[in-house]
Amino acid sequence: MSVQPAEPLPPAPASSQPALEVRGVTKRFGALVVLQGIDLALRQGEVLGLVGDNGAGKSTLVKILSGFHQQDAGDVLVAGKRVRFHSVAAARAHGIETVYQDLALIPQLPVYQNLFLGHEVTRLGPLRILDKSAMRQLSRRYLDEIKVHVPSVDAEAEQLSGGQRQAVAVARAVRAAPKILLLDEPLAAMGARESRLIIELVKDLASSGRVSIIVIDHNYAHLFELCDRINVMQGGRITIDQPVHETSLEQLTELMVSSFRRQLGEA
């Protein structure tokens, strides 16, 4: 694995090749064409917002990038190299971590086991005995560090509030020290205070310049605060690609409406 020398240069260094590139990716489920040729580039250290209607294909794209689904055609490039992920583990091996819309926490497992799900600390070699005390301790320290408050790391995920669960899910992805972080509606159904927590978490991460991030969200105010660039998805395509600092909320809405009209006209 080629590790890019980390350049802590906030805001995003527009240099070199993209951290992640998508070229002409298509995906269909049976007769339903969900993605019809996606082109997208995520630059090194950049936060890219992805917006679009329900059913525009955002989540499908994320699931392909995270190795959960496989594309029918097209290429995915990580740091300039063509890759094809056959599993979540394969995407992870390339430094891609994901927080899914449907929250991959296990209700019956304690917070610390959820934090380490898929990255468990084990003892006794092939017996894979869980090192629970180590995971507890690491979880406590880590959650403190990123200011995520849970009643106890021993609490089952089921016992957390929606926001706390979301925070733990984000924390799990971040803890794995990814190079690329995919966030599928990380702020869905969260209170203002909890949203703030996640936003600060993502901003901190972005400002380190080491992680490139794609965020899906419906809240434009959040996106404008978080992102360097916004891509709009409509009908399985990316129709608008705009840097945030050159765009206002009104402009973006206008662009979306006109592009949507164009699409309707085509159809």
Q: Which residues contact another protein by CB under 8 A?
A: 66, 68, 87-89, 92, 98, 100, 102-109, 111, 113, 117-118, 120, 122, 127-130, 132, 150-152, 154-156, 158-163, 165, 172, 189, 191
Min CB(197)–another protein separation in Å: 14
The residue among 82 and 128 lying less far from another protein, judged by its C-beta, is 128
11 preceded by a cis bond (ω within 30 of 0):
yes
Min CB(202)–another protein separation in Å: 19
Min CB(225)–another protein separation in Å: 23
The residue among 25 and 103 lying less far from another protein, judged by its C-beta, is 103
Min CB(110)–another protein separation in Å: 8
Name the one residue in this structure whose structure tokens are 């990580």: 78
Element spanning 101, H or E: none
Min CB(146)–another protein separation in Å: 19
The residue among 121 and 256 lying less far from another protein, judged by its C-beta, is 121
Structure tokens at 4: 């890019």
Contact 263, 234 (CB under 8 A): yes
Cα Rg for the chain, rounded, in angstroms?
Answer: 19
Contact 12, 228 (CB under 8 A): yes
The residue among 64 and 227 lying less far from another protein, judged by its C-beta, is 64
The residue among 152 and 208 lying less far from another protein, judged by its C-beta, is 152
CA 214 to chain centre: 5
Handedness of CA 178, 179, 180, 181 (dihedral sign): positive
